[in-house]
Amino acid sequence: MLNTRIVLRTLLIVTLLKISLTGCGDGTATGDPSPTGTLNVSVTDAPVDTADNVFVEFNGVEIKPANGKSITFDFTERCTIDPASCQIDLLSLNNGTSQSILDGETVLSGSYNWMRLLVKAEPNVKDSYIVINGQEYELRIPGGAESGLKLNRGFVVPAGGESSFTIDFDLRKSVHNPVGKDDYILRPTLRIVDNAETGTLSGNVDSNFFAGGTCTGAIYVFPAGTVDAPDDEDGDGFGPDPITSALVADDGVYNYKVGFLSEGDYLIAFSCDALADDPNVDNDNATVSFLSMATVTITANSNKVYNFLP
């Protein structure tokens, strides 16, 4: 009987030790830890025609897992120490360039419902502002300081992999100067794309379009099949607004580049009337006319070259 009790007690001790060791280990005994991936977020811009600079101060990024509470990457401390590190001149980020605001952050892998950009646009504070002809004006972002700029497109971060997204601020649609006001309003028209699924479009525009010096050239990009003919930027929700646009460099070479286009077919069009295209107004064809157009196919991780001819 004594030997049996000793054996049973020994077995009990061994069992308890195993349980203890399992609970204190690295998790491999009870299953792998939650898998993670890497998230990168950048911003770019389709430029506004009349401004010198458009500075927006970014204070953080918030993301919402499909199953769980939202996660915030807060830049406030960094912004306080070095405001310039958070004030991004969106107007400098055109022709396919971008600037990172979230670089190599480790997050749980899986599906996410949305992403929110946290911005600072306080009254009478030089945080977000616009420069026109050397003069600085306050840039107001309605609701932006409180609720941020939300993008409701879902995305996925793969386990052990990397997801990189670029957010396009189409400033030609987004910057408004209310009548009788000195301040400007930024109502962002945002487009988010997965960098792994995007390509670029570039080329030249024939110099004959610019003869006479009255042409302010721009390339307008529409998803093919959704429009019968190109239209101006009016933002009224009824016309076929372009998904993005790009100014043509007026430097004697007359080239252009449109970055971060998802794979697919597009109707592209050239106009000399970019300066007259008021995004608050549905301009008629006499105000904004299109002089050349074509359908092109964009392939991921490649550049499509198209040259506009008369």
What is the secondary structure of 2-34 as a DSSP string?
Answer: HHHHHHHHHHHHHHHHHHHHHHHS-STTS-PPP
pLDDT given at position 104: 94
Contact 144, 93 (CB under 8 A): no
Amino acid letter, 191: R
Contacts of 21 (CB under 8 A, 6+ apart): 29
Tens of pLDDT, residues 175-214 = 777 655 778 888 777 889 999 999 999 999 999 999 888 8
| Per-residue model confidence (pLDDT) at position 234 | 63
Q: Which residues of 222-244 are buried (b: 16+ CB within 10 A; e: fewer)?
A: beeeeeeebbbbbbeeeebbbbb
pLDDT recorded at residue 80:
85
CA pair distance 31, 160, nearest whole angstrom: 16
Going 203 to 209 to 210 to 216, the CA torsion angle's sign is negative
Residues 6+ apart with CB under 8 A from 242: 220, 221, 222, 230, 231, 233
pLDDT of residue 300: 96
Phi and psi at 118, nearest 5°, equal -95, 125
At 19 the pLDDT is 36
- pLDDT for the residue 146: 58
CB within 8 Å of 252: residues ≥ 6 apart = 207
Q: With contact defined as beta carbons under 8 Å apart, do 180 and 229 qualify?
A: no
Please give the structure tokens belonging to residue 300.
């991921």
Give how far the C-alpha of residue 191 lies from the chain's centroid of Cα atoms, to the nearest Å.
6
Report which secondary-structure segment, H or E, holds 67: none
pLDDT < 70: residue spans in the chain: 1-33, 47-49, 143-147, 178-180, 233-239, 280-286
| Nearest alpha carbon to residue 46 among 98, 120, 116 | 98
Strand partners, 201: 258, 304
Q: Which amino acid is at 49?
A: D
Q: In this predicted structure, what is the pLDDT of residue 225?
A: 85
pLDDT tens for residues 57-82? 999 999 999 999 999 999 988 888 88
* Percentage with pLDDT > 90 across the chain: 45
As a whole number of angstroms, the longest Cα–Cα distance in the chain is 112
